[in-house]
Structure 1
Amino acid sequence: MINQQQENEKGILGGAGLWVLVATILGSAIAFIDGTVVNVALPVLQEDLGATISQTQWIVEAYMLFLAALILVGGSLGDHFGRKRIYTIGIVIFALASAWAGLAPDANQLILARAVQGIGGALLTPGSLSIITAYFNESNRGQAIGIWSAFATLTTAGGPALGGWLVDNASWRWVFYINIPLAIIVLVILFWRVPESRDEEIGGELDWLGALLATLGLAGVTFGLVEASNLGLTSPIVIGSFFGGILALVAFIYVESRAKTPMMPLSVFRSPTFTGANLLTLFLYGALGGALFFYNFNFINLQGYTATQAGFAFLPFTIVLAVLSPWAGGLVARYGAKLPLVIGPLIVALAFYMLSLPGIGGNYLTTWLPGILVFSFGMAIVVAPLTTAVMGAVDVSHSGLASGVNNAFARTASLLAVAIFGLIAFFNFNTQVDTRLASSTLLPEAAQQIEVVREQFPTAVIGDEVDISGKEFAQEILDLAFLSSFRLMMYLGVGLSLLSSLVALILIEGKKPDAAPEPAEAETAAPLAG
């Protein structure tokens, strides 16, 4: 057994400290990279597998569903049975599921593999920081988390570009295969140098019933929203699934209010600031997740970018966010969390509007970059104050729980937003296609080809092998219909951002003149990646 006190006396990189950092950084990188590269690969992946819009959504949603529903249980499992053990199991599951995803012969197999990835992600994601917190003492812990956070930012920034390069130069399957060698390295280090730790004083049973109800509830609601594009809004399956999910979520709240050791204690929501911060997370991160789902389809299918170019297109967002976040943390010290959390979403709303303006074609520097930079600035103002508001609204003893709940809200926001945005976009796309077809003079064979490919939205492209008269005009109808849906998604982003600002104005507590400001925690409560 490694003597932790002696190890810490050797400095942050002395003894096993270096290896603890490497294992947790690489393990987190697997989840962070996977969370960003898959979106870049979606347009090519959908076309290659012939996936429908609902299947394409499920490729993202299957992962997010289990990650959002089980991430709180994943943290508790580590406390109960050993943080290294649960982290290791998470890495193994994630790696095996990545191999399955890379080998998937069709969309349904890929969806199942992504669901298993989500289970692995729920075990490993909370494990990295908990291992760091348990190993390093107070004098070294802040620096260790700072190093971890810096590398997390780098992997988040490089993920889309790496994914785009792999898609263009190898295959979309390598987006998943790349996780395997990283996982092997992490496992070797874990078994070789990382010590085990657990909470020896923890009591009570795990909240398995709460986890089950959360999973069933989110799954039911998500299934109803996603499958409505296939089965129709009036389908008994869609209606039954959606309202069954709502009932399960109501039951989840009831169980959490009665459980002795709930996975999400409702008592923390007695704080208006904590409730407001999580509602803001739900709305703002929902806007972010829903909009980002469609960006790469626009860049690749409509603007003609390569996957690599699409991956680099949003790189300024992460760079600006990383550079300005320390400055935004200083805003909290001067003005408190409320003012930045009111102003930041307003700037994000402006950015969404700016991103709705570009048409088809044009120079990236004058069409997309200005909106992306404004978007980056707005989110930079939000992230650090949001973390401070979440962590400062509860007792220090509940800081881990507060971070976990907010993390779960961020994942749930993306999960629901992709389903809701996708449903609205799909119906708008079909309405636009019908309207344009009714007023067009297309020959029957061209109109028939539109009917063939429209179900492949958002990758509704008439292939080069199709030789029909009026093909270019037919593709223009599809492109303009997609552009209309994309703009509608940006308008939804505007609305959700404004709602986030209103929530902050009403619920977030303002700065107390006689209170010394509390520094923001190094751990990001609502991560932008993963």
Structure 2
Amino acid sequence: MSQTQTPLPETEERSLSTTRNVLVIVALVWTVQLVALVAALSGIAQADVAIHFRTTNIAWFTLMTLLTGTFFLPFAVKAAAIFGKKRVLLAATGLGFVGDLVAAVATDYRTLLIGRGVAGIYAATAPLAYAITRDVFPRRWVGLASGILAGGIGLVAFGGPFLSGWLLDDYGFRGVLWFMAISTALSFVLVAAFVPESPIRAAAGRMDWAGGILLGGGITALVYAVGEGSNWGWSSGKFITWVVASAVTLIVFVLVERRVAEPLFPSAMTRRRPVWTVLLATSVAAGALSAVGVVIQLLILMPKIPTISDGLGWSGTHNAIVTSPISAMIIVGAVGTGALARRMDSRILLGVGALLAIFGYGLGTHLHHTAPQIIGMGVFAGLGTGIVMASVPIMIIEAVTPEEQALANGVQTLGMGVAQIIVSQVAFVVMAQHGAVLKGTQFYLDAGFTNGLWLVVGCVTVGAALVLLIPKTKHLDEVVVGQAL
């Protein structure tokens, strides 16, 4: 007996489509923002970790994840183009969970750093999630979804301090580490259950192992040298050797990629002016803004010790209350950018966001001693940060083809990660010039925090200036989207 299917009424079909899109957004928002949440939790917990393990190398607690994430990112985005974005998302999430477990049970600082390093592989999920957004949503959803994904950083900034305050106050830094592990496991479940596989594949289907090792190794060597520069001495033979080795490795990478049939990042994509200018400007601006947390969190959470430390000494909960307006402005900026992207030039949005952040943190260089001052700084800087972060994925969508999306997101995340690592590490060095070591822990004076904020302001200013190099490209309403639905 034959059966026929009765088509669903249009309103019901539209309702099912909306529900499906919302579930996909929820899964992707959790995936993307877990990277930011872990960074926020790490920053807030680092003071307790430094004191517990009596280490002056606390910078590596947060930088280890960025270091390994940077190394593995080229492999992840290339694998996503070949095998599928969802598959690689799940693989990176699974490895991240293993690293979180190692960190949570670590009894010494070395093991803790190993765990954080393995967990850093999860950082590769962010560019893949943004790339999937273009593939699985219809046109009218793409800008909004991208804005929501980026706006989630505000939710992280809003809820993260309250969450970390509760975890730190009741369970210590161990509670923070276990929360990371549980959250990564939840990310795996959400992606597996709700995110469809993207049908977009690269025409080439072979992994460029040599290119990945050379690129990842060269950048990792540079970051390691910057991280140890203050210990070795900036003019020491060891520091110079590592920097030279990094430069040689990256030059060899460029030469090798010219001869490889299926390069890691096709030169035809990265040589186009609309692409490389967008990647450069967004990497510098967003990377510097991502690095400011190391200054702000140490300023707020480090104790007040006369002649030793000029931290504000706030509790995690007090920090959450005072910084909540900042987080709200990040959400407003990001979601508003997603809504405006279909009507405004994204270059203007990126430039305005960078200028607002410059103004906010410029105020903060001298006004950062009381709660009202922190709020005043953060209202402008938070709005600007939200606009910048939401502009990044939208500008890349406008600059590349669907087949290039994952690779372009990967290059941008790689560039942003390198900028964040270098600015973060230099910030630690700059702050330490005005500070002291007490019982194995590095503390900072007010001049150190001021100079750290000036460093961020200067780097964001460079990013804002680079926006002028970006030519006009296709508008968001003109690009090809929605391939999977």
User: Scaled by the length of structure 2, what TM-score is found?
Assistant: 0.82
Aligned residue in 2 for 1:290: 291
Please name the residue that 1:49 is paired with.
Answer: 53
1:40-189 equivalences under 5 Å are 40-52=44-56, 55-122=57-124, 124-129=125-130, 153-155=154-156, 157-187=158-188
CA drift at 1:413: 1.3
Q: Deviations over 1:228-279 (max 9, x none)?
A: 2223224333222222122222222333333322222233333334323222
| Distance change >3 Å, CA 243–CA 178, structure 1 → 2 | same
Q: Could you tell me which residue of structure 2 aligns to residue 486 of structure 1?
A: 449
Alpha-carbon RMSD across the aligned residues, in angstroms, is: 3.6
CA distance in 2, matches of 1:143, 1:76: 27
The whole-number CA distance in structure 1 between the counterparts of 2:345 and 2:85 is 34
Matched, 1:414 2:420: yes
* Pairwise CA distance, 1:127: 4.5
Task: Report SS of the residue matched to 2:476.
Answer: coil
Question: Once the two structures are superposed, what CA deviation does each residue of 1:337-380 show, in whole Å capped at 9, x if it has no partner?
Answer: 34444444333222222111136x5x302x21111111123334
Tell me whether 1:401 sits opposite 2:373 in the alignment: no
Report 1:355-394 matches (<5 A). 355-358=364-367, 361=369, 363-365=370-372, 367-394=373-400
Partner of 2:41: 37
Say yes or no: does 1:278 pair with 2:283: no
User: Residue 63 of structure 1 contacts residue 117 of structure 1 at CA under 8 Å; is this kept in 2?
Assistant: yes
Query: Displacement of 1:397 after TM fit?
Result: 4.2
Could you tell me how far 1:322 is from its partner in structure 2?
A: 1.9
| Equivalence for 1:518 | 476
The Cα shift of 1:133 comes to 5.8
Going from structure 1 to structure 2, the CA distance change for 1:136 and 1:373 (only over 3 Å counts) comes to closer
Shift of 1:113: 0.9
CA distance in 1, matches of 2:450, 2:91: 42
Per the alignment, residue 264 of structure 1 pairs with: 265
Counterpart CA distance in 1 for 2:347 and 2:81 is 33
SS at match of 1:178: helix
Aligned-residue offset at 1:182 = 3.5
Is 1:49–1:106's contact at 8 Å kept on the other side of the alignment?
yes
- 1:37–1:163 contact (8 Å) kept in structure 2: yes
Does the residue aligned with 2:17 lie in a helix, a strand or coil? Answer: coil
Report the alpha carbon displacement of residue 179 of structure 1 after superposing the two structures with TM.
3.0
Normalised TM-score (structure 1): 0.76
Letter in 2 for 1:236: G
| Distance in 2 of aligned mates of 1:181 and 1:38 | 15
- AA of the residue aligned to 2:78: S
Deviations along 1:306-351, one digit per CA (max 9) or x if unpaired, are 1232244433333212213354457666662344444443332222
Instruction: Answer with 408-417 or 388-397: which moved more.
Output: 388-397
1:50, CA displacement in angstroms?
0.8
Change over 3 Å in CA distance of 1:313–1:159 after alignment to 2: same
Decide whether the 8 Å contact of 1:80 with 1:198 is kept in 2: no
For 1:224, the equivalent position in structure 2 comes to: 225
Structure 1 CA distance for aligned equivalents of residues 22 and 324 of structure 2:
29
3-state SS, counterpart of residue 259 of structure 1: coil
Distance 1:338 1:75, change over 3 A: closer
Equivalent-residue separation in structure 2 for 1:104 and 1:93 (angstroms): 17
Residue in structure 2 matched with residue 445 of structure 1 by the alignment: none
Which residue is equivalent to 1:304? 313
User: Separation in 1 of the partners of 2:203 and 2:299?
Assistant: 49
Give the unaligned 5+ runs of structure 1. 434-450, 461-478, 524-530
The 8 Å contact of residues 351 and 375 in structure 1, kept in 2 or not, is answered as yes
Q: Post-superposition shift, 1:33? A: 1.9
Given residue 109 of structure 1, which amino acid in structure 2 is its aligned partner? T
* Amino acid in structure 1 at the alignment position of 2:429: L
SS in 2 for 1:76: helix
Matched, 1:423 2:425: no
Q: CA–CA distance in 1 between the matches of 2:353 and 2:478?
A: 17
1:334-353 matches, within 5 Å, as 336-353=345-362
Report the secondary structure of 1:11's partner residue. helix
How far apart, in 1, do the equivalents of 2:271 and 2:401 lie?
A: 13
Q: Deviations over 1:108-153 (max 9, x none)?
A: 211111110112332x334545566666666877777677666565
Residue 452 to residue 257, structure 1, CA distance change in 2 (3 Å) = same
SS in 2 for 1:211: helix
1:499 aligns with 2:484: no
CA contact 2:80–2:406 (8 Å) conserved in 1 = no
Q: How does 1:200-239 map to 2 (within 5 A)?
A: 202-239=203-240
Residues in 2 aligned to 1:152 and 1:8: alpha-carbon distance in whole angstroms: 32
Q: Deviations over 1:487-510 (max 9, x none)?
A: 1112222222222222222x1225
- Partners of 1:494 and 1:152 in 2: how far apart? 20
The whole-number CA distance in structure 2 between the counterparts of 1:39 and 1:187 is: 24
**Deviations, residues 369-411 of structure 1 (Å, cap 9, x unaligned):** 1111111233344344444443323345433333332222222
CA distance in 1, matches of 2:472, 2:193: 48
Of stretches 124-133 and 372-381 in structure 1, the one that deviates more from structure 2 is 124-133
Determine if contact 2:81/2:407 at 8 Å carries over to the other structure.
no
Contact 1:271–1:393 (8 Å) recurs in 2: no
Going from structure 1 to structure 2, the CA distance change for 1:517 and 1:358 (only over 3 Å counts) comes to: same
Tell me whether 1:508 sits opposite 2:470 in the alignment: yes
Deviations, residues 28-67 of structure 1 (Å, cap 9, x unaligned): 4543321221111111111111111xx2111111100122
Distance 1:109 1:495, change over 3 A: same
Give the total of aligned pairs.
Answer: 464
SS at match of 1:12: helix
Q: Matched residues in 2 for 1:496 and 1:192: separation?
A: 40
> Which residue of the partner structure matches residue 319 of structure 1?
328
Stretches of structure 2 that go unaligned for 5 or more consecutive residues are 1-6, 303-310
The corresponding residue for 1:456 is: 441
Looking at structure 2, the residues matched to 452 and 143 of structure 1 have their Cα atoms a distance apart, in angstroms, of 49
Please tell me whether Structure 1 or Structure 2 has the larger radius of gyration of its CA atoms: 1
Aligned-pair CA distance for 1:205: 1.0
- Given that 1:71 and 1:126 are in contact with CA atoms closer than 8 Å, whether structure 2 keeps it comes out as no
After superposition, residues 8-19 of structure 1 pair within 5 angstroms as 11-12=16-17
Counterpart Cα distance in 2 of 1:510 and 1:133: 20
2:139/2:477 contact within 8 Å kept: no
